[in-house]
Amino acid sequence: MLSLRVATLEDKEAIYDIEKACFSVPWSMESITTELTETEQRLYLVAEEEGHIIGYAGAWLVLDEGQITNIAIHPEFRREGYGAMLTRKLIKELFKRGMSEIFLEVRISNVAALTMYRRLGLTVKGVRKNYYTEPVEDAYIMSIIREEALV
C-alpha cells in the first residue's frame, strides 16, 4: 500500500539513491541534506511502499510562489500512477501553505512528465534555453495558479 508523507532527514539516503537512478546529473548528498533541513523554505514528500521509499518530490517556497525542484519515482515503480499522486499531493500542500502559483521546469523531450503535468492542470509558460546538461536540452517552464487548480 502506497503512503505519502513529509520527508525527514532520515530519508536522505533513499532520496539520494533515487536521484542516482533517475537523473544524469543527480544532486549531491550535501544538497539533499540541505534541502531536508531547510524546512521553513522547503517542502519534500516521499512515496513509501511496504516501508521502502520509491519516490520523492520537493519544492521551494518563495514568498507566495512554489518552485518544484524535483519529482522522481524509482524506475522499477514507474507507470503505476505514483508520480501523479505524489505531484498532486505536493501541489495541494503548497497551495495550503499559501502559494498562489507553482512553477517547474521539465525537459522538452520528457513526454511522460509533460503529459502528467498537463493532466494535473499545469500549462507551458515559456522555454529556458539550454537549461539542462548531460545532455544539453531546453526546458519548458510550466505553472499552475491556485484558482485554476484541478488537483
Copy the grid coordinates of residue 19.
536521484
Amino acid at 56: Y
Active site residue 35: no
Per the residue annotation, which of 117, 132, 134, 147 is the catalytic one?
Answer: 117
| Phi, psi of 30, deg, nearest 5 | -60, -45
Residue 139 forms beta bridges with which residues?
Answer: 107, 128
Per the residue annotation, which of 93, 105, 131, 137 is the catalytic one?
Answer: 105
Active site residue 105: yes
Measured between its terminal Cα atoms, the distance across the chain in Å is 21
Q: Mind telling me the catalytic residues?
A: 105, 117
